[in-house]
Amino acid sequence: MKAMLYERFGERPEIVTVPDPSPAPDGVVVKVHATGLCRSDWHGWMGHDTDIRLPHVPGHEFAGAVVAIGRDVKRFKVGDRVTVPFVSGCGHCYECRSGNQQVCEEQFQPGFTHWGSFADYVALDHADQNLVTLPDSIDDATAASLGCRFATSFRAVVDQGRLRGGEWLAVHGCGGVGLSAIMIGKALGANVVAIDIAADKLDLARSLCATVTIDATTQSDIPSAVRDATGGGAHVSIDALGHPSTCSHSIMNLRRRGRHVQVGLMLADHARPAIPMDRVIAHELEIYGSHGMQAWRYGAMLEMITSGLLDPKRLIGRRLELDDAVDALVDMDSFAGHGISMIELAS
């Protein structure tokens, strides 16, 4: 099969031919139809993820069709259209048994712990526990866009943030995660204030009906600007970028008893930011992480998509072929793209 592979961190990946994968006894092989390019792929390529063993094939948000199954797989068959959360659970640890596969103790992460989806085929272990069957009405690119950023945003806003209609949601950073959070917040009936440094990203936020947008380049005190715009602070606030300053703003712009959810990754030099813990105590703030979403929660999200309440297709930016994706991955740190970049493979 054709795959994007790198031999060393930070060294340009190449499109190469490697042997087709075969399924583990509890696994499947999926023909990849569409796969999103995410900042985590760039972090992985830079060597920021200790799970990756070289040589490596990246790619962790995708949709496709099952082409081979292991002998122990019961719930899926050849031909099924599926996707999978980027964190897949082992099925037998304490977290998996309590329904929290997104923090499994022995995670299977295609594109990190195992070879991923920037290839014609991807092998997935623990299939019965993690695969999600796709409705016919959701196309491959849209389904692929759910696997990482959209699902993580859904969990961040709905399950961790517990956002309700009429509340205020602040979203710091309007990339793929942030735009997803805006769309989900509006679908829940909340008011959304979106913050970014790029005027065109704020235009996108407005097109998704963000109630208020704040250009961070013109505001010296962003937490105050958010508190003013929301009549006292956001009920739920998300750092969708992953930076010590956006993390701090997201906590400081909360109203009393508000909930901060950290979704943007904090890696390398940013891994241990200063948290205003005095404010967390005095205002009884809640601080959460959000790390993917369990396969069993996909049903709620897919229903909101098929009913038209959520339209993740609007978040897809440029569409690429696998050969073009090498440049796209390497340039990710400098490319000011919009929404989710989608790699489409011949099905």
Residue pair 179/169 in contact by the 8 Å Cβ criterion: no
Q: Residue 147 Cβ, how far from Zn ion at the closest point, in Å? A: 7
d(CA 89, CA 255): 35
Q: Quick one: which of 90, 216, 316, 329 contacts Zn ion (CB under 5 A)?
A: 90
| Closer to Zn ion by Cβ: residue 93 or 267 | 93
Q: Residue 91 Cβ, how far from Zn ion at the closest point, in Å? A: 6
Residue pair 89/101 in contact by the 8 Å Cβ criterion: yes
The Cα-based distances of 129 to 30, 44, 75, 76, 327 in angstroms read 15, 25, 9, 11, 35
Q: Residue 106 Cβ, how far from Zn ion at the closest point, in Å? A: 5
Closest CA to 181 of 125, 263, 91: 263
Q: Residue 306 Cβ, how far from Zn ion at the closest point, in Å? A: 23
Select from 17-25, 31-39, 115-123, 313-321 the region that touches Zn ion (CB under 5 A).
31-39
| Closer to Zn ion by Cβ: residue 183 or 193 | 183
Q: Does residue number 148 form part of the binding site for Zn ion (CB under 5 A)?
A: yes
Q: Quick one: which of 3, 104, 131, 188 contacts Zn ion (CB under 5 A)?
A: 104
The Cα-based distances of 201 to 15, 117, 197, 207, 317 in angstroms read 32, 28, 8, 10, 12
Q: How far is CA 67 from the centre of its chain?
A: 26
Closest CA to 89 of 50, 121, 55, 128: 128
User: DSSP letter at 108?
Assistant: B
The residue type found at 37 is L
Q: Which of residues 33-72 bind Zn ion (CB under 5 A)?
A: 38, 40
Q: Residue 100 Cβ, how far from Zn ion at the closest point, in Å? A: 9
Residues binding Zn ion: what is the number (CB under 5 A)?
8
| Closer to Zn ion by Cβ: residue 38 or 322 | 38
Q: Residue 176 Cβ, how far from Zn ion at the closest point, in Å? A: 8
Q: Residue 148 Cβ, how far from Zn ion at the closest point, in Å? A: 3
Q: Does residue number 242 form part of the binding site for Zn ion (CB under 5 A)?
A: no
In sequence order, what are the beta bridge partners of 339?
none
Q: Does residue number 254 form part of the binding site for Zn ion (CB under 5 A)?
A: no
| Closer to Zn ion by Cβ: residue 132 or 252 | 132
Q: Does residue number 328 form part of the binding site for Zn ion (CB under 5 A)?
A: no
Q: Quick one: which of 32, 96, 144, 254 contacts Zn ion (CB under 5 A)?
A: 96
| Closer to Zn ion by Cβ: residue 23 or 110 | 110
d(CA 115, CA 102): 19
| Closer to Zn ion by Cβ: residue 225 or 293 | 293
What crossing angle do the helices spanning 176-187 and 199-207 adopt, rounded to 10°? 30
Q: Quick one: which of 65, 93, 198, 275 contacts Zn ion (CB under 5 A)?
A: 93
| Closer to Zn ion by Cβ: residue 149 or 172 | 149
Q: Residue 164 Cβ, how far from Zn ion at the closest point, in Å? A: 27
Closest CA to 124 of 149, 94, 79, 87: 87
Select from 109-117, 136-144, 146-154, 291-299 the region that touches Zn ion (CB under 5 A).
146-154
Burial 242-264 (b: 16+ CB within 10 A, else e): bbbebbbbbbbbbbeebbbbbbb
Select from 89-97, 159-167, 207-215, 221-229 the region that touches Zn ion (CB under 5 A).
89-97
Residue pair 30/80 in contact by the 8 Å Cβ criterion: no
Residue pair 143/134 in contact by the 8 Å Cβ criterion: yes
Q: Which of residues 277-296 bind Zn ion (CB under 5 A)?
A: none
Q: Does residue number 89 form part of the binding site for Zn ion (CB under 5 A)?
A: yes
Contacts to Zn ion by CB under 5 A: 38, 40, 89-90, 93, 96, 104, 148
